[in-house]
Amino acid sequence: MAPGSKYQEGQGWHFAYSKVVQFFQEVGEMALFSGRFFRTFWQPPFEWREFINQSYNLGNKSIFLVSLTGFIMGLVLDLQSRPTMMEFGAVSWMPSMVGITIVREMGPMVTALICAGKIGSSIGAELGSMRVTEQIDAMEVSGTNPFKFLVVTRVMAATFMLPLLVILGDACSLGGSFLVENLKGNVSFHLYFNQVFEGLEMGDIVPSTIKTFFFGAAIGLVGCYKGYTSKKGTAGVGKASNSAVVVASVLVFVLDFIAVLIADLFYEL
């Protein structure tokens, strides 16, 4: 190793080893946290009021962002694809192509990544700050199960709100694409959406909808795990919020890969 290098001989390996161990520890702790979620979920009473409150908060606060990014995504996708499709004389396939692309992959993925940033970070920061200011302990000593009140409700809210946000994002994307088609190709609203739905099959819609529930659960669980277990004062809150976004985003990609593999198996059968 070069003199003056950050790590002495052997230290680099030790560093890499400790990082690997740390990674698996984190995975294990997250799995235990998820297990606790599933155990606690079934125990009555269910916190309906807080669940509705959280669903409203998570959904309502993301509507504008998801709509805007969805709309722009539809615009850009159509504008980028149009010239190529024109070269092949396949411009009439634009609505079906955009519809399939958005419903199967881009809509769920882009919306999930946006929600990983917005919802994941907000849950991580909120619970993290509650942890360091002892609000979670205060809840526990008042005879309330904070895991049930804070974690179960937020994870469930994220699980049920994400599919709705994806549907909204998809609709806005198709709206954006329709705008381009209408302005450049003089395609009517009726014709555009007729072609979109003609191109879509149940095999496009069902798997992509099912996977969004898993995306929502993953975002909620990671945000809650990072916030609920955060330590080291206010710096820990920032770290919890930041790592909630990173881990949730990576997890969304991993889950998407698994969902595509499973869907592919069904197609082959």
Partner 1 sequence: MNALANIPDTTTVLQNGPGSALLEVIEVYKAFGSLKVLDGFSMKLFSGENVAIVGKSGSGKSVLLKCIIGLLPYDSGIIRVLGQDVSQLDQRQLDRLRTEIGFLFQGSALYDSMTVRENLQFPLRRHMDKMQNQVEEELIRETLASVGLEHTIDLWPEELSGGMQRRIALARTLILRPQIILYDEPTTGLDPITSREIIELILDIQKQYGTASLIITHDMQCVRLASDRMVILHEGKNYATGSYGDLKKRNDPIIQAFLETS
Q: Give the shortest CB-154-to-partner 1 separation in angstroms.
A: 12
> Is residue 41 within the footprint of partner 1 (CB under 8 A)?
no
Residue 261 half-sphere exposure, CB side, CA atoms within 13 Å? 6
Rounded to whole angstroms, how far apart are CA atoms 116 and 220? 9
Taking the C-alpha atoms of residue 176 and residue 23, their distance in angstroms, rounded to an integer, is 41
- Provide, rounded to whole angstroms, the least separation between the CB of residue 86 and partner 1: 53
Q: Which of 140, 164, 179, 260 binds partner 1 (CB under 8 A)?
A: 140
Among 16, 138, 206, 250, binds partner 1 (CB under 8 A): 138
Q: How far is CA 69 from the centre of its chain?
A: 14
Q: Measured between alpha carbons, how far is 262 from 257 in angstroms, rounded to an integer? A: 9
- Minimum Å gap between C-beta 57 and partner 1 is 10
Select 4 or 143, whichever has its Cβ closest to partner 1.
Answer: 143
Q: Whole-number minimum distance, CB 114 to partner 1, in Å?
A: 23
* CB closer to partner 1 out of 108 and 223: 223
d(CA 44, CA 122): 27
Task: Please choose, from the candidates 212, 157, 246, 217, the residue with its C-alpha nearest in 3D space to the C-alpha of residue 34.
Answer: 217
CB of 240 to partner 1, least distance (A): 16
117 to 136, contacts with partner 1 by CB under 8 A? 126, 129-130, 133-135
- What is the total count of residues that contact partner 1 (CB under 8 A)? 15
Residue with tokens 């909204």: 168
H or E element in which residue 184 lies: helix 153-185
Q: Which residues sit at the interface with partner 1, rule CB under 8 A? A: 126, 129-130, 133-135, 137-145
